[in-house]
Amino acid sequence: MSLQVFYTPRSKESLESVYKFILDRFGERSASKFVSKADKTINLISQQPFMFKTSDLDEKIRIALITPQCSLFYKVTETSVHLLFFWDNRQDPILI
């Protein structure tokens, strides 16, 4: 059984931002590889939503490593997965 996946506006925006950065810096091939890895990771999350570690910020939020440079933050409900945002791991850590 797989859960339905929902993209938040912020996740769409951050995915596009990471994609454009990779495209501009490393070219179409690298950008396509990133999208493929992101799709595979999202598919895994829909099948096994608790396979990735919980966030230190909130135990309801999980973090999936897509590449060493990019992670995906997401939240799981009983019936769905909500993709919150994609994070460039080279940035400063999130501070609340």
Write down the pLDDT at residue 57. Answer: 81
pTM over 0.75: yes
DSSP 3-state of 56:
coil
In the chain, where are the structural domains located? 4-88
Longest CA pairwise span in the chain (Å): 39
d(CA 15, CA 59): 23
pLDDT band at 1 (very low <50, low <70, confident <90, very high): low
Tell me how far CA of residue 2 lies from CA of 43, 58, 61, in angstroms.
Answer: 9, 23, 18
Q: Is the pLDDT of residue 96 over 50?
A: no
Closest CA to 72 of 31, 38, 32: 38
Q: What CATH topology corresponds to 4-88?
A: YaeB-like fold (3.30.2310)
HSE-up (13 A, CA, CB side) for residue 84: 15
pLDDT in tens, 34-58: 999 999 999 999 999 999 999 988 8
Q: Is the pLDDT of residue 21 over 50?
A: yes
Write down the pLDDT at residue 88. Answer: 86
